[in-house]
């Protein structure tokens, strides 16, 4: 284990033992970020006696974090090209170019640009013995076309129990992010968790993905407030 990873893991352990909310602000998904996410989930769920949920929650948070970082990087790409992400014609043109050019190298480059411009992905873990709430927030606005597509994917995903069937039924028009959201819903169902505990809230300048996991009947969901 590298010194960097060991330090991150120890800091997480201390935070959990002190009962604090954990938070990570990042600009791109690196090995260190993945280790932080994995360690946080393992330590929290071990403390709360629900270790079997680790694989599912790790997959969910990593998927949401990648989507959040890509959303910020996409905004920078549009700005550099002079495209208005809120203009339907500009969006249609820009998204095609972005997908054609996107690569791992580009992700690293634009992650550094996001940091300089103040764009971030904020991951928070809040837990009690009764349940936990996970949030992934990015601070760029979302295009109307993206919001419509996102809502459609969530609605479709609610109707499936099998990710392979979802993909086959939507192979011609399913983007990676859409497939990922459907996967989240299907994984929650597989663990016996009501998928309605997963919510995406779109603000003027932020997008928040929130997942609540009840551990006991005493858990109080934000969706009911």
Does the pLDDT of residue 175 top 80, yes or no? Answer: no
Task: List pLDDT tens digits, range 74-111.
Answer: 999 999 999 998 888 999 899 999 989 888 888 889 98
Domains held by the chain: number: 1
Domain assignment of residue 84, given as a range: 3-219
What is the distance between the alpha carbons of residues 138 and 122, in angstroms, rounded to a whole number? 6
What gap in Å lies between CA 110 and CA 72, rounded to an integer? Answer: 9
**In the 8-state DSSP scheme, what is residue 21?**
P
**pLDDT tops 60 at residue 13:** yes
Alpha-carbon separation of residue 19 from 97, 146, 166 (angstroms): 46, 37, 39
Band of the pLDDT at 14, cuts 50, 70, 90? low
Burial 91-120 (b: 16+ CB within 10 A, else e): beebbeebeeeeeeeeeeebbebbeeeebb
SS3 content of the chain, % helix, strand, coil (to 5): 60, 15, 25
The single residue listed with the structure tokens 């203009």 is 87
Question: Does 90 fall in a domain?
Answer: yes
Is 225 part of any domain? Answer: no
Spatial separation of the C-alpha atoms in residues 197 and 213, rounded to whole Å: 7
Q: Quick: pLDDT tens for 19-69.
A: 777 888 888 888 888 988 998 899 899 988 999 999 999 999 999 999 999
Q: Which CA distances in Å does 153 have to 110, 179, 183?
A: 26, 8, 10
Strand (E) positions, the chain?
A: 22-26, 121-128, 131-138, 198-202, 207-214
Q: Residues 124-166: pLDDT tens digits?
A: 999 999 999 999 999 987 877 788 888 887 887 788 887 777 7
User: Does the structure show a pLDDT above 50 at 1?
Assistant: no
Report the alpha-carbon distance of residue 222 to residue 47 in Å, rounded. Answer: 23
Contact, 61 vs 134, CB < 8 A?
yes
What is residue 158's predicted lDDT score, i.e. its pLDDT?
84
């Amino acid at each position: 284990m590298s010194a960097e990873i060991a330090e991150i893991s120890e800091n997480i352990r201390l935070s959990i033992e002190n009962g604090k909310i954990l938070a990570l602000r990042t600009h791109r998904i690196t090995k260190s970020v993945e280790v932080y996410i994995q360690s946080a989930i393992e330590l929290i769920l071990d403390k709360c006696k629900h270790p079997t949920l680790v694989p599912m929650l790790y997959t969910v948070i990593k998927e949401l974090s990648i989507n959040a970082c890509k959303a910020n990087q996409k905004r920078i790409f549009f700005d550099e090209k002079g495209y208005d992400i809120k203009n339907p014609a500009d969006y249609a043109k820009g998204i095609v170019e972005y997908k054609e050019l996107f690569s791992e190298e580009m992700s690293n480059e634009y992650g550094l640009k996001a940091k300089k411009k103040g764009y971030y992905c904020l991951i928070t873990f809040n837990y009690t013995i009764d349940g936990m709430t996970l949030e992934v927030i990015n601070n760029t606005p979302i295009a109307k076309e993206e919001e419509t597509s996102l809502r459609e994917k969530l609605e479709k995903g609610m109707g499936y129990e099998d990710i392979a069937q979802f993909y086959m039924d939507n192979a011609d028009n399913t983007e990676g992010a859409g497939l990922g959201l459907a996967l989240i819903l299907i994984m929650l169902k597989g663990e016996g968790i009501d998928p309605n505990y997963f919510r995406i809230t779109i603000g003027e300048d932020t997008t928040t993905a929130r997942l609540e996991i009840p551990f006991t009947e005493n858990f109080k969901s934000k969706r009911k407030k």
